[in-house]
């Protein structure tokens, strides 16, 4: 697997398809068609998967008569890159602002154990500077 995410950035449709493949781990054109809202059709999805493979985002293997596509990078690496994009796009690169927004949106959803884990991570980050 690749160590870094390839460039260039993805189009909206490419991101939708990548989201499906990342979520399911490996997908055929038919699998993607079932999960992408308003998919343009079989050929359009197949062509987009081929483009994503050419760009280095996906790898392909043959399974009988069909091709299966899987992420070319680990999910964690793709997630890290997505967070960096969100930070740049919506929070001017400021993690603090993103964290405050996430806490504002989802604070009620955290269990006491999760809040304690967050406190421990914050403490650890203070000592590792």
Tell me the two tokens of residue 11.
């189009």
Q: Show the tokens assigned to 80.
A: 């890290």
Length of the chain: 129
* pTM recorded for the entire structure: 0.66
- Determine the Cα–Cα distance for residues 126 and 38; give it in Å rounded to an integer: 46
What the chain holds in terms of domains, given with CATH numbers, is 12-71 (1.10.10.10), 75-127 (no CATH)
83-112: pLDDT as tens digits: 888 899 999 999 889 888 888 877 778 888
More confident residue, 3 or 48: 48
Q: Give the Cα separation of 99 and 28 in Å (integer).
A: 36
Measured in degrees and rounded to the nearest 5, phi and psi for residue 54 equal -60, -35
Mean per-residue pLDDT of the chain: 87
DSSP type of residue 9: P
Say which residue, 52 or 85, is predicted with more confidence.
52
Cβ contacts of 98 within 8 Å, gap of 6 or more? 83, 86, 87, 90, 91
118: number of Cβ within 10 Å:
13
pLDDT above 50 for 2:
no
């Amino acid at each position: 697997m690749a160590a870094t995410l390839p460039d260039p950035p993805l189009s909206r449709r490419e991101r939708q398809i990548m989201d499906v493949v990342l979520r399911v781990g490996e997908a055929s054109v038919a699998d993607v068609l079932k999960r992408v809202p308003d998919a343009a059709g079989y050929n359009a999805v197949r062509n987009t998967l081929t483009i994503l493979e050419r760009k280095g985002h996906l790898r392909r293997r043959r399974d009988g008569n069909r091709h299966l596509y899987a992420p070319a990078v680990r999910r964690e690496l793709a997630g890290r890159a997505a967070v960096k994009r969100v930070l740049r796009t919506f929070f001017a690169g400021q993690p603090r602002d993103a964290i405050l927004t996430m806490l504002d949106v989802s604070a009620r959803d955290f269990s006491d154990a999760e809040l304690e884990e967050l406190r421990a991570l914050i403490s650890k980050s203070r000592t590792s500077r």
